[in-house]
Every structure is written in C-alpha cells, then in structure tokens.
Chains A and B, each alone.
Chain A
Amino acid sequence: MYSRKVIQKFEETLNNPQAHNVGRMDTNAKNVGTGMVGAPACGDVMRLQIEVNDKDVITDCKFKTYGCGSAIASSQQMIEMLIGKTLEEAKNIKDREIAELLELPSIKIHCSVLAEDSIKKAIADYESKKT
C-alpha cells in the first residue's frame, strides 16, 4: 500500500524529527505564516509554518502533522520543496507534484492535497500580516 519513498520519509521524520523540520514557530511573529488544514474527524490535520525574509523568500519551515504515514511523508516532501523558494514560486507547488514524487496511491491523494492547501493558507496568513 505504501511506496518505499513514503516509508523512508515517514521513518526519517519519526526517528529524527528535529533534523526534519518538525516543530513550531511563534504564530504571532510578523515574518511567520501559519496554515492549519484538515480535521481530526477526517483523520488528518496538517500545520505548516513558514519563515519569510524581506525578499519574500521562504528561509525556514516547521510542521506538525496528525495523520497516516502518507500525510506525514507528504508534509516532509512539501518542506523540502518550500525552503529557498519565493512566495510566488511556492504558490505554484501543486499537489500532483508531491503525489508523483512520493508515488502516492489514489486512495492517499488527499494527503498531497492537504499539503498544497496548507501552503496556500500559510502564505495567505503571512501576507495578511504584512498589509
């Protein structure tokens, strides 16, 4: 049911969370955007936080995810894609890319959709603080 990539990402994150951007940032900081999506009733909740510099580049990310192995692996994959990108580039990350990289089966596509949603929400939160 799970691809080798999902299992690898999941286990790396589980066994060494600090090195894999698990954590939280100050939600109120001006240079931090937070996006939390999903619901306990659906079996997954993803919280993504991005730290953005004055050139609109994402310099760091933190996440925590409640969900299946694919949801946790998708979060990890998303983080790898986000760091170093500008906000405009980040907005163009599609759930399909994450799903393809992780070889998610169709029953798990919602995990990558959740990741894309969390990026959009985190950026929107950051931008709302700037204005």
Chain B
Amino acid sequence: MKSNLVYFDYASTTPVDPRVAEKMHECLLLDGNFGNPASRSHEFGWKADEAVEKARLHVANLVKADSREIVWTSGATESDNLAIKGAARFYKDRGNHIITSKIEHKAVLDPCRQLEREGFEITYLDPDENGVISLENIKKHVKDSTILLSIMHINNELGAVNDIEAIGKFTRENDIIFHVDAAQSTGKLPIDLSKLDVDLMSFSGHKTYGPKGIGALYVRRKPRIRLEALIHGGGHERGFRSGTLPTHQIVGMGEAFRIADEEMEKDNKKIAKLADLFWKEVSGIEEIYLNGSFKNKIPNITNISFAYIEGESLIMALKDVAVSSGSACTSASLEPSYVLRALGRADELAHSSIRFSFGRFTTEKEVKMVAETTKRVVHQLRELSPLWDMFKDGVDLEKVEWVTH
C-alpha cells in the first residue's frame, strides 16, 4: 500500500494483528494444522479440532461466556441473520412482533425486512438525538406479541453506546428474547455475559484485528435459546450452522480476541488520548458538529458534520486519509447517512458527515497530520461553497427557495 496513506477507518475494518497472522499461517500447509476439525478418524482432525476449541475458549473468555455458547459463523452479518431470523422462525408460535431500531446495521435491518415479508410485524425505534435507544422508548412499544428485541451495543457510525444491561433486565422480566449486535464492541468495552441478560450476541473477527470472513454468535444456554438454522448440511456447530470449520480463520479470530482481552485497557487508554488530541485540534473549525455525545460514546469513533461542505468532496480532498462518510456498506450510494437522518440532522449536515475512526496502530503523528489536513481542506472547500457565502452573508438557508432538479 502507498505509505503516505493514513488509515482512519478502523470502524469499517482493522488490519490483522501480526501475532494473529502468524497463528493463521500455522493452519494452512501440509506440515501445519490443515486438517478438517470434523475428521474423527486421525490426528490431523483431532489437532484441528483442538485448535478450534481453544479459539472458541478465547472468544468466550473475552465476553465471559461458556465456550459451548459460541457458534462460529462467516461474520457478524451471518450472526445477525441467524439470531434474528433463527429466533423469529423458531418462536413464531409465541408471537409475531419484533422490535429493533432505525439505526441498526443493515445486517439487522435487512433480515427484519425479510421477516416482514414472512408476516412478522417489526417496530423500528427512533434513537435520541445522540444515537442512543432508550429503555423508555422500548417499553412504550412492547406488546403481548413481542418475541424479540434486537439492539446494537455500539453504533458503527457514531460510536454511541446503548445500555444493554438495563435493557436486558427488562427483556428478561418480560420474556422477550434479546439480541445484541456487538460487532463494534469487542476489545473496546468490557462485556460480561455471565451478568448481562443478553440471549444472543453477534461478533465479528475483522473489527478486532482478526481476519475477515469469520464471526461468532453467542447463544445462551441458561435459559436455553433455540434457533432455526439457516444453513443445513452436516450438523456442525450443534446444528446451528453446518459447514466445514475454517480452522485458520477461527484460530485467527481466537487469537485476536485473546489479545483484545489482554490489551483492551492499554489500547483504550491510547485511543482515548488520540481522540482527545484530534478533537482539540479540529474543534476550532467554525460550524462543525459532533454527531453523538462525548458522554456516551467510545473514543474510537469521531463522527463530525462540516456544515456547508458536501461529504464526498471532503473525502476526495482528504486524499491521503482513508475515512468514510457513513457506513462503508452504503457509501456507494448518494443518499446521506440513514443513521444521521434518524438523529434528526438536517440534510445538509447529514450530507457532510465524516467518520474518523482510530485503532491500535494509529499514531499521534498521524492524528496531528490528519487534523491539519482537515482544517486546511475544510477552509478550501468553504471557499468554493455558495452556501458558505450565504451563511456568512446572514442568509437563512431554510428560507431559500431551492431549484431542485
């Protein structure tokens, strides 16, 4: 890769930690651990199975679960699908109502849309102005027919954190299955599933310095949660998810989660410092707005709207910096971020948002460089912006009659 390119998009994916890559290499070649973990008849299989179970333990340890509660999947998207469609279809005789929020990842929203086509009724909750789903809002929308609630732990665009402890207490008392998409959480916030009343939790390998193409779903044993499988063929993973286990991917995710458990505190301290520095540097720019709230977000993600500048042009001007506007899955479209829209942001602010996300390998030098570049190009783009002129002239943009095309 070009060495002058700075990576500030850790929320979309992370590089694999070198220690993880090393473990993965050991599971590929003839003289390595390449066997099929499902082979019971020879040592190649036993050794692979051992590595898979060790990795399962590492994942379980990070979130204080029993390793028998961890099901391997191809990633958080599959985990979300399995949790939501699997639970809804299995428990459909209990009711047909599901609650989620408008700012979930598409991996939650799209399975919900599919369930609507199958006759389920879905309520999409509004977040508050900072991107948080309140328990009060959930309570207001629960019905006798509600069987499932799916709420993310940390929002991927804003870094906003939901109170899954309080929400879990409520869902447990009311016999509602609680699924949490925790793709953004591992290694950033401690998770203790021995205390939380969460029934299903999705994890991703590649958001936590593991490889892409691997994830896991936590499926609670006590009280036992059952699911209708999406993929059949061999009955792997106790029937929840068939398919030969990819040893190298699993070992990679296991090692990544083991490191996360060990180094979370160190990583977080460093990233919090860098995030403070970044905000200190850029917050002097006129007319910028933090999306989300410092009181309730992880420092890894800083999402800023730069008023009177269009986001795509800002990304293009920040050419040596890899950032994203909104979620990477939707940034190919011209639509402003649906997450920012749901917060009630005006269109021009939703159009102008940039997500800066930091990680384990971000340096202070990079933060200073990106802050400087941001200040410079924001000024340059505003020189080009007729809206900036109008703002400076005191024109109220809300009152202008625009000629749309």
Interface residues of A (CB under 8 A from B): 2, 7, 10, 13-15, 17, 22, 24, 36-47, 64-69, 71-72, 107, 110, 113-114, 117, 121
Complex alpha-carbon distance, A22 and B309, angstroms: 15
Q: Which residue of A lies closest to B401 (CB)?
A: A39
Q: Tell me whether A67 and B397 are in contact (CB under 8 A).
A: no
Residue of A2, A46, A66, A113 near B316 (CB, 8 A) is A2
Q: Find residues 389-405 in chain B having any chain A CB closer than 8 Å to their own CB.
A: 389, 397, 402-405
Number of interface residues of B (CB under 8 A): 28
Using A46-B386, A69-B313 as known contacts, list a sample of 18 further A-B pairs with CB atoms less than 8 Å apart, ordered by residue number in A: A10-B316, A14-B384, A17-B384, A36-B386, A36-B403, A38-B402, A40-B346, A45-B386, A64-B386, A64-B389, A66-B308, A66-B385, A66-B386, A67-B313, A69-B316, A72-B313, A107-B334, A121-B403
Residues of the B chain whose Cβ atoms lie less than 8 Å from the Cβ of A15? 380
Interface string of B293-329 (1 = CB under 8 A from A): 0000000000000001110110011000000000000
Query: Is residue B381 contacting chain A, with contact meaning CB distance below 8 A?
Result: yes
Residues from chain A with Cβ under 8 Å of B387 in the complex: 40, 45, 66
Q: Check B309 against A66 for contact (C-beta < 8 Å).
A: yes
B403 contacts across to A, CB distance below 8 A: 36-39, 117, 121
15 chain-A/chain-B pairs, Cβ below 8 angstroms: A14-B380, A14-B381, A38-B403, A43-B334, A43-B336, A45-B387, A65-B384, A65-B386, A66-B384, A68-B310, A68-B312, A69-B313, A71-B310, A72-B313, A113-B405
Given known pairs A14-B317, A14-B380, A17-B380, the reply for A40 and B402 (CB within 8 Å) is yes
A117 to B404 alpha-carbon distance, docked (Å): 10
| Nearest CB in chain A: distance from B320 CB, A | 12
